[in-house]
Amino acid sequence: MKVSIVIPIYKAEKYIKQCVDSVLAQTYKDIEVILVEDGSPDTCGEICEEYGKKDNRVKVIHKENEGVSKARNTGLSFVTGEYIQFVDSDDYLESNMVEMLVETMEQQQVDLVICGFYEENRIFNRISTLEEDKGKYNKKEILEHITRNPYSLHYGVLWNKLYKSTYIKEQLRFPEDMDFGEDFIFNLTYLAKAKEIYVMEQPLYHYIRYNGDSLMYRQTKEKEEKEKYLRYLEKRLLIFKRYRDFYMNQGLYVENKNKINAYLLKVYVSEKTELYTLPFSKKEKKECQRFLSNNQDVIQMKTDMDKGYYYKMSLRYFLAKCKVLLRNKLVKN
């Protein structure tokens, strides 16, 4: 079975060779590597062309910069494999990752395989294992597990998973009106089609968290100006709306409403708390507070959640955010 590996590339010239080399060195050889160079202003385009010339498994696609969702969607239109993997261009793979995922997919006869990963930054390296124990789960079990911790990287990323292309190629695409959280929504949509999922305990992927050009670091810039911050809040609220609507469509909202709405409650409490530390005037801070409090999804969240659960989780999220803000302040000093 051929595995199509889609890699969107933008401002990754420091990391791309390690990434692509780790993919081409896989013990599983029946792969195609689709490099989608998304109008990167550095030398990524030239590096991609070099790989395309020396390995016939590599397809190189150049396009204007339109964001990672459109880049991945472009890559999906060139997929010919039975399975699909997504890799970020600043990360790299264990040499047997593809082989392990394919073997598990076929031996367990499932629709999605998820593995652990190594998380690397400038302070520490650690193994990040899955929220669930090793084993096979049906769709309802996984969807209920997600409501316990929807912020988890394990649910919100693409790169520790092997997908069936039949569930993706003709129908499923990344939402192009989102520039973060789109992976999470994509995974939920895929799970709507899946019947069984297998969770592996082995870490097979290296997730690099110190790329200064990555989306995670660029998002911090959105909190430096009021208008940018309001757009950032709109994006975060949109993720929740699609998350909630998905569970409604699956008929799982009512029985999980507290946990599902806790996603938005965490955003609401965390952002209101952090707002006091942002470099805005008092007037601007009040405008942002009103924006959050008057949002219809926030109002509905407060109505739907049991009051005791709402107050308990509000306090928990407030204390957790204060801890983060205090730690960040100490680090800066």
pLDDT mean for each 10 residues of the chain (333 residues) = 97 95 98 97 96 97 95 96 97 98 98 94 74 90 92 90 92 90 95 94 89 54 84 94 96 96 96 93 94 96 97 96 85 58
Beta carbons of 96 and 24 less than 8 angstroms apart:
no
Domain boundary, last residue among 181, 208, 235: 208
Specify whether the backbone of 109 is left (phi greater than 0), alpha (psi in -120 to 50) or beta. left
**Within a domain: 203:** yes
Quote the tokens at residue 316.
């928990």
Q: Is 7 exposed, middle or buried (0-12, 13-18, 19+ CB in 10 A)?
A: buried
- pLDDT for the residue numbered 140: 94
Whole-structure pTM value: 0.91
Can you give the pLDDT at residue 219? 59
For residue 69, the enclosing domain spans 3-208
Check residue 211 and give its pLDDT.
Answer: 53
- Is there a domain that residue 214 lies in? no
Assess whether 191 and 232 both reside in one domain: no
Domain termination residue (choose one: 164, 179, 208): 208
In a domain, 216, yes or no: no
**Residue 333: its pLDDT value, please?**
52
Q: Is residue 192 part of a domain?
A: yes
Q: Give the pLDDT of residue 220.
A: 64
DSSP 8-state assignment for residue 70: H
Tell me what pLDDT residue 217 has: 53
> Residues 189, 251: one domain?
no
161-164 vs 112-120, strand pairing mode: antiparallel
3-state secondary structure of 113: strand
At 316 the pLDDT is: 96
Confidence at residue 329, expressed as pLDDT on a 0 to 100 scale: 73
Closest CA to 258 of 242, 272, 244: 244
Q: Report the C-alpha gap between 51 and 33 in whole angstroms.
A: 10
Q: Report how far residue 138's alpha carbon sits from residue 110's, in angstroms, rounded to the nearest whole number.
A: 9
E strand or H helix at 329: helix 307-332
Give backbone dihedrals phi and psi of 288, rounded to 5 degrees, phi first.
-65, -40
The closest of 306, 312, 318 to 256, measured between CA atoms, is 306
